[in-house]
Amino acid sequence: MANQQLFLGIDCGTQGTKALILDATSGQVLGHGSAAHTMISGADGRREQDTAQWLDAFTQATHQALASAGVDGQAILGISVSGQQHGLVLLDDQGQVLRPAKLWCDTESTPQNDRLLAHLGGESGSLERLGVVIAPGYTVSKLLWTREHHPQLFNRIASILLPHDFLNHWLTGRHCNEYGDASGTGYFNVRTRQWDVRLLQHIDPDGRLQSALPELIESHQPVGRILPAVAAHLGINPEAVVASGGGDNMMGAIGTGNIQPGVITMSLGSSGTVYAYAAEPAVSPQPSVATFCSSSGGWLPLICTMNLTNATGAMRELLELDIEAFNTLVANAPIGAEGVCMLPFLNGERVPALPHATGSLFGLTTTNLTRANLCRAVVEGTTFGLRYGLDLLRANGLEAQSIRLIGGGSKSPVWRQIVADIMDTTVICTEQSEAAALGAAIQAAWCHSGARESLADLCERCVKLDPASETRPVMEQVAASQKAYVHYQERVANL
């Protein structure tokens, strides 16, 4: 026991906060904790959260994780926070939060994004200048939206933070941002790794936004030590170092060992993401591919769909099914759901770029309108969106022998088989489905070591694949899935 090295990984997501205790010596996860968040939603695409909920959930999840690990919080050497990307947290000069955080899945600022994109010269202009095409979910349009809808409040902005930066600020009192998460703001150049100050000056010629930017730090650098009062509140060691942290996708990459070419991570969470490591910023000509910086020193070409378990969850609620009953129905329906096709765009959609789209069901007849087909159609529809994204990444030269599957949906063997067949690639889960929290804990260990221990060695020791979950594509099912996918693409093209 004496040589244990304990680290706390936190993942503050849309639906809740998860905490995990990692012993970096043995590579074992010793305990977990979690607490839920609620969403503030509006018909106009508003998706916001009260940041005070994050702090409560952080505390609750940490206490739970320490209790379930049966360890003394005084033994924690470091903490790292993974946060949902793109969210906007505004503080005044007293460090007080000015309004609820606008989230990645908020589409209320779509008109502002359209105008900013036109200012940049459209998709090609945005790609050329920033290395990404700004989308309504990104932080930049939320700033313009705030200026137009809350001008008095805008004039009080002293600090612009992303969700994980805000939690780091709570932990340490310091305002800073790490390159991986910064690259999803829309005012950061992913090639040069610098803020695009001119774009912020365009939104606010007075220079307020520019002076509110946090300092940029490398992913292996600490933000600082935890504040004594916060350490006491959380019940952890006041000497614990707070690592840079990062966006949930960047931390998920570390938590799946996706830090060198050849691995693709696919997350089946409330949103769906597919990403891979790249050593160079090979920016894809496809506007849907975001070539973000990674939190391991390289780049992380990524696609993100807005609808995944939120869509399957909505279908489950409608039909009043628990997970088990839902999965049984999915398994009972044939591939292609007897012609029932669902475009699951309940939140609008980012890939393909259809922010104003709504969900729709096609191909219904008196014979095929069954619960099983509806359940199958929503799982296939969300997975087809990920297939579309994977094809874009493959077109940009990314190759992988297998896909590492994470997120809530990855726990379903039925869904794993559907993914393997639709992608025509073997899929395998990591032992820890909470890959972002694990990645954060690994990053905390890396940071605590002063980067003396390589991230690759830490991942080798701490990221374990679950051989029982390995699922290979079945040839006949691949052919049938391909046929259903073509059918889905035709429906999307007609929107």
- For the stretch 168-196, pLDDT in tens is 999 999 999 999 999 999 999 999 999 99
Q: Which residues contact 208 (CB under 8 A, 6 or more apart)?
A: 154, 155, 157
Q: Which residues contact 152 (CB under 8 A, 6 or more apart)?
A: none
CA angle 276, 282, 285 (to 5 degrees): 100
pLDDT tens digits, the chain, 495 residues: what are they? 458 999 999 999 999 999 999 999 999 999 999 999 999 999 889 999 999 999 999 999 999 999 999 999 999 999 999 999 999 999 999 999 999 999 998 999 999 999 999 999 999 999 999 999 999 999 999 999 999 999 999 999 999 999 999 999 999 999 999 999 999 999 999 999 999 999 999 999 999 999 999 999 999 999 999 999 999 999 999 999 999 999 999 999 999 999 988 889 999 988 899 999 998 888 888 888 999 999 998 999 999 998 999 999 999 999 999 999 999 999 999 999 999 999 999 988 888 888 889 999 999 999 999 999 999 999 999 999 999 999 999 998 888 889 999 988 999 999 999 999 999 999 999 999 899 999 999 999 999 999 789 999 999 999 999 999 999 999 999 999 999 999 999 999 998
User: Which is the catalytic residue, given 248, 391, 421, 457?
Assistant: 248
Name the nearest CA neighbour of 23 among 494, 445, 459.
Answer: 445
CA pair distance 319, 314, nearest whole angstrom = 9
Active-site residue, 106 included: no
Amino acid identity at 194:
Q
Helix (H) or strand (E) holding 276: strand 272-276
Q: Is 55 helix (H, G, I), strand (E, B) or coil?
A: helix
Domains defined for the chain, CATH in brackets: 6-247 (3.30.420.40)
Answer for the pair 268, 289: CB distance below 8 angstroms, yes or no. no
Taking the CA atoms of residue 403, residue 408, residue 414 and residue 417 in that order, the dihedral angle to the nearest 10 degrees is -10
- For the stretch 82-116, pLDDT in tens is 999 999 999 999 999 999 999 998 999 999 999 99
Amino acid identity at 483:
K
Question: What's the pLDDT score for residue 401?
Answer: 83
Answer for the pair 45, 31: CB distance below 8 angstroms, yes or no. no
CA pair distance 169, 176, nearest whole angstrom = 8
Residue 415 burial class via C-beta count within 10 angstroms: exposed 0-12, middle 13-18, buried 19 and up: buried
Pairing relationship of beta strands 176-178 and 215-217 according to DSSP bridges: parallel
Q: Is 422 helix (H, G, I), strand (E, B) or coil?
A: helix
CA angle 264, 266, 272 (to 5 degrees): 145
Amino acid identity at 111:
P
Question: What's the pLDDT score for residue 2?
Answer: 52
